[in-house]
A and B are shown apart, each in its own frame.
Chain A
């Protein structure tokens, strides 16, 4: 039943590709088996099967669906930790590349903005504290709290040692800007894991 629904959905959505023939949809499901898997593929991978038009439509579908739910949180919306988790989950929907985002909140936990820190893995080679300082210091809305998020497309959401290390570096970097890091989410497909950020050592 599930496959039928997904197949019918994709056939309808891609009906303008190869003039309504089912060949493209058949090939997509044969290779990737589900819509979720299809939408997590890169444009180049999709182009091989669905052509430029099909790959564009599939990339767009992932982005539109992601925006539909991330738009629920607007500037000034007070965010609970559940709201942030849902926001982060949808932010990475349909993304095939690894990205690092920083979500900024004010002193009352109201949403300010989301900054794209970089593309790549969260490691010292990809995560540049200087870039974080530049971006955060540009924010005029007086951020007080921040939530870090990155994804492991196609992998598991178990945080690696480098993820934990990056959390510590980010925490120290933000501390210098007067912003407190309150969480670090790792997203892998439907799964999400939060790396707890320990309170500052007061000794």
Chain B
């Protein structure tokens, strides 16, 4: 019987079909050599990468073996040039980069850990800043993001940038922080008002707020103990308590 498809067209659209399968069904349905074959599309745009992928796996035994091999060894495989070897080597460094990310992030387990961390963060800063420490679910710091600069003291602070940042980083917990570079070490009435707005927005967003830190020089306080706040009605109590605390601090300060 005559072959209906000419040999030259057998592989036509092959790459598109493979891409479609990966997008719709995920990587589970592919053999390891097929995943490697697709990876090589990016650096070998014209040739059939299927036999090259198979040769690589035969030579080095596994995908890990391929990524672990020297560039010179990779170039000994038929079909792998200098650019492809460099590409494979660089793609293989992803876990190192991911792991360095993990080790850089150490857990901050107590209120004082976070406070000390933040005094270091604000050391030498004489501008008014509002920032947020983002934690993952193991209390490792994902990042510290500055949300407002200078504007914070003027009271025109919105909750939306805080919420957007926390959600986009995938944070499970956050610690709010702002500084009073020239004192005092107690929250102003505007601070408490802003704190309430941001906190209620976070409760709605389902992100837990550890506390709102206020940094002044090498000293820090938590504006309120928010660890127990889970519902809107508890928030009102917590804010009232915070206002009372702030008032008493203000009185202590004026006595001094």
Residues of chain A at the chain B interface (Cβ within 8 Å): 2, 5-6, 9, 12-13, 16, 31-37, 40, 43, 55-57, 59-69, 71-72, 95, 97, 116, 154, 156-158, 188-191
Contacts and interface: CB of A to CB of B under 8 A. Distances in A.
A191 B107 CA distance: 13
B35 A16 contact: no
B90 A60 contact: no
A34 B145 CA distance: 14
Contacts of A154: 170
Given A56-B23, A60-B22, A71 B100 contact: no
B35 A60 contact: yes
Interface residues of B, number: 38
A143 B163 CA distance: 48
Contacts of A57: 42
Best-buried of B35, B100, B136 by chain A (most CB within 10 Å): B35
Interface in B30-50: 30, 32, 35-36, 38-39, 42
Contacts of B30: 63
A67 B27 contact: yes
Interface string B79-99: 000000000001111110110
Best-buried of A9, A32, A60 by chain B (most CB within 10 Å): A60
A32 B101 CA distance: 14
Interface of B: 19, 22-23, 26-28, 30, 32, 35-36, 38-39, 42, 62-64, 67, 90-95, 97-98, 100-102, 104, 136-138, 142-143, 168-170, 172
B97 A67 contact: no
A24 to B, nearest CB: 14
A35 B94 contact: yes
Best-buried of A36, A62, A116, A154 by chain B (most CB within 10 Å): A36
A5 B99 CA distance: 12
Contacts of A31: 168
Nearest to A14: B42
Contacts of A13: 42, 90-91
